[in-house]
Amino acid sequence: MDRLSRIDMLLDLLSKEPNDVFLTYALGIEYLSELDLADAEKHFKKTLLLNPDYIAAYYQLGKLYESQLKNSDALRFFKEGLDRAIRQKNNKAVNEFNEAIFMLED
């Protein structure tokens, strides 16, 4: 299945379950892989509206902004994700956010 077919499939599934967090996030990932940054950003932000504790979306938004050289926006999402990862006691995510922050602040 090619990426555009996956996007169509996810859009179809979301039309039936518009508040599904995983489908929304997955669609953001697919748009990101197609370099459709505006739609990726939109879906990652919607993911966070649906579930503010979905820490992977903070990381993806941070990386998206970092790729656009919007470092202050990237840092904001990395730091928010870090705070949530600490509260969730997700050590792997804490390490990933710390590394991302270190690389931007270095």
Encode pLDDT of 66-104 as tens digits.
999 999 999 999 999 999 999 999 999 999 999 999 999
Are 35 and 63 found together in one domain?
A: no
Find the farthest-apart pair of alpha carbons in the chain and give their distance in angstroms, rounded: 45
Q: Do 44 and 2 fall within a single domain?
A: yes
Pair (99, 75) in one structural domain: yes
Say if residue 61 is in the same domain as residue 45.
no
pLDDT of residue 4: 63
Residue 20 domain boundaries? 1-51
The number of beta carbons lying within 10 Å of the beta carbon of residue 65 is: 21
pLDDT tier for residue 50 given thresholds of 50, 70 and 90: very high
40 and 82 share a domain? no
- Among residues 12, 33, 51, the one where a domain terminates is 51
**Total of domains in the chain:** 2
pLDDT at residue 15 greater than cutoff 70: yes
Q: What is the mean pLDDT of the chain?
A: 95
pTM of the model: 0.92
